[in-house]
A and B are shown apart, each in its own frame.
Chain A
């Protein structure tokens, strides 16, 4: 009723809100009833409600296979590695850039550092291929030049966790360091002046002023990514390694597994079961990380 009165009072504001509200209703809320197909044996002819119930069979199948542990581990490992290395390197890059005087060099290097962020994963896959292709790849040419044996990269899963982590870090480094640099720029200049008067060196100023004051931003951004740790990057995986079966032991993440179950195997029910598992754990992680942020830095909490 309160809502009706509000709409009556501000008809045009609600008119403006309507398109987005309808959109979120369809692509957000209407997706929820489909969750039941995780507990059914979905059949297109019978529809969501007509298909017969199977209880937890789809879940038992997924968790009973060794795939569950594998894709979960792959997703978490890849994300954790890129969050760890990515954050560390971005902080280092931001600290280094902070030592440079504002000018052409800083501007140009910033522009170049954020460039990979704008490339699509497909273009990145071309870059990866030109480096790692076994016959003509640049890396193998270097190896041959040093009289070392060339490696057939695309058939050796053991290298790919490192390769994928590096690509992810490479793509996000510039953007993250620019965010950190902005946080450093917001630090009160008076603190540094006082430290200089007391005779503190640049190094001491960095470890005693910059780093502690940068810590909230770094922690908040890192925790926000930890909240997303259960989500793999489908576009990244499928452009770079596609459905290369040889690499699946390390490149199969939850998202690619769900995609294959839905499109390749054509089993929407088990795809939904795995999707629900991801959504629930993902939700718990988002809440957990937000709770941690809220406890330490209330101003950075998402909600």
Chain B
């Protein structure tokens, strides 16, 4: 009773509104999960629903046992995400250290050098042509290199964090004969763990969710990332194909199968969620509300 008294009608209204917003963020994904767990034949009768008429795990067993290429796509996505993220973090952290190092007199000019392409970007066409000239087509590197530093924003986030590390640490190490490589890798990078975790997540999510590189540079089916696999799967069901062509030529994959494929795509995101939330939000707050 005492608790009830404390909660005013206004407050309960606020709780209701926030709950409603939270539901709105979660329910659409739950619809996809529900469809993936529905029996295909009951879908044909009842359509998509949050409450499956008949439950079935068929879609998931087909995913695992069937001869679909989703397994290899999963592997490609994992390789691309891990390699891309490690490489991107390493390059960003290294450059961040150099730009934060007060011994470097030209660091302002160097920052400007990185900043200019951020505000003036010639866009898709030159990017595509350069990728082609560098041979970044139809190989694993074409999925990693072209978006390696997709936004210098991460570089500036890292630099600003490293500027906050007291100079005395580096100076005393220098006195003991350490060079900048040692100071960067042994002192600055370990101390910058929070910001490095944040940019690792920005990069990681970017790589995992990206299919732009695939659509632009890859046609070899063996190199399809999970997102691109999903993208191609989806284009087989889109309504306009039916409108344009009357009847689909080949039997499209079953809806439950497609939805199950979408669900397993977000698996790693769910697994890493607690970690994700902690560092991602922190990074956004630091980046959004500039120092």
Segment at the interface with B among A63-71, A72-80, A242-250: A242-250
Chain A residues positioned under 8 Å from B50 (CB to CB) = 138
Assuming A23-B91, A114-B281, is B101 touching A34 (CB within 8 A)?
no
Assuming A28-B116, A115-B25, A178-B284, is B123 touching A126 (CB within 8 A)?
no
Cβ-defined partner of A28 (8 Å) among B29, B117, B258, B288: B117
Interface bits A117-148 vs B (CB < 8 Å: 1, else 0): 01111110111011101111110110000000
Q: What's the Cα separation between A300 and B95 when bound, in Å?
A: 24
The A252-287 residues at the B interface (CB cut-off 8 A) are 255, 258-259, 262-263, 268, 271-272, 275-276, 278-279, 282-283, 286-287
For B11, the closest partner residue in chain A by CB is A99
* B124 and A239 form a contact (CB under 8 A): no
Decide yes or no whether B168 CB sits under 8 A from chain A.
no
* Most chain B beta carbons < 10 A, residue from A19, A23, A126, A182: A126
* A27 and B127 form a contact (CB under 8 A): yes
* B14 and A100 form a contact (CB under 8 A): yes
Chain A residues positioned under 8 Å from B11 (CB to CB) = 99
Q: What's the Cα separation between A33 and B129 when bound, in Å?
A: 11
Report the tally of A-B residue pairs with Cβ distances under 8 A: 292
Chain B residues positioned under 8 Å from A299 (CB to CB) = 290
For A98, the closest partner residue in chain B by CB is B14
Decide yes or no whether B32 CB sits under 8 A from chain A.
yes
Decide yes or no whether A183 CB sits under 8 A from chain B.
yes
Decide yes or no whether A197 CB sits under 8 A from chain B.
no
Decide yes or no whether A54 CB sits under 8 A from chain B.
no
Decide yes or no whether A152 CB sits under 8 A from chain B.
yes
The B15-29 residues at the A interface (CB cut-off 8 A) are 15, 17-19, 21-22, 24-26, 28-29
Decide yes or no whether B273 CB sits under 8 A from chain A.
yes
Decide yes or no whether A102 CB sits under 8 A from chain B.
no
For A137, the closest partner residue in chain B by CB is B48
* A100 and B48 form a contact (CB under 8 A): no
**What's the nearest-Cβ distance from chain A to residue B147, in Å?**
9
* B101 and A300 form a contact (CB under 8 A): no
Cβ-defined partner of A111 (8 Å) among B110, B273, B289: B273
Which of the four size classes fits the interface of chain B? 35 or more
Chain B residues positioned under 8 Å from A215 (CB to CB) = none
Chain B residues positioned under 8 Å from A153 (CB to CB) = 239
* B125 and A275 form a contact (CB under 8 A): yes
**What's the nearest-Cβ distance from chain B to residue A200, in Å?**
16
For B16, the closest partner residue in chain A by CB is A96
* A122 and B94 form a contact (CB under 8 A): no
Q: What's the Cα separation between A275 and B284 when bound, in Å?
A: 29
Assuming A10-B103, A16-B184, A278-B123, is B115 touching A303 (CB within 8 A)?
yes
* Most chain A beta carbons < 10 A, residue from B49, B115, B234: B234
Interface bits B229-246 vs A (CB < 8 Å: 1, else 0): 011001101111001100
The B244-291 residues at the A interface (CB cut-off 8 A) are 244, 255, 258-259, 262, 265-266, 269, 273, 276-277, 280-281, 284-285, 288-290
For B115, the closest partner residue in chain A by CB is A303
For B291, the closest partner residue in chain A by CB is A299
Chain B residues positioned under 8 Å from A179 (CB to CB) = 284-285, 288-289
Assuming A27-B127, A118-B276, A130-B259, is B101 touching A10 (CB within 8 A)?
yes
Decide yes or no whether A112 CB sits under 8 A from chain B.
yes
Q: What's the Cα separation between A27 and B92 when bound, in Å?
A: 15
List B residues at the A interface (Cβ < 8 Å): 10-11, 14-15, 17-19, 21-22, 24-26, 28-29, 31-32, 35, 43-44, 46-50, 91-92, 94-95, 97-99, 101, 103-106, 109-110, 113-117, 119-130, 134, 146, 148-149, 152, 155, 179-181, 184, 205, 208-212, 215-216, 227, 230-231, 234-235, 237-240, 243-244, 255, 258-259, 262, 265-266, 269, 273, 276-277, 280-281, 284-285, 288-290
5 closest A-B pairs by beta carbon, nearest first, are A28-B117, A120-B209, A34-B126, A31-B126, A20-B95
17 A–B contacts, CB within 8 A, in A order: A6-B106, A21-B113, A99-B14, A109-B19, A113-B25, A115-B25, A116-B25, A120-B210, A122-B209, A133-B239, A135-B47, A152-B239, A202-B10, A245-B240, A246-B240, A262-B124, A262-B128
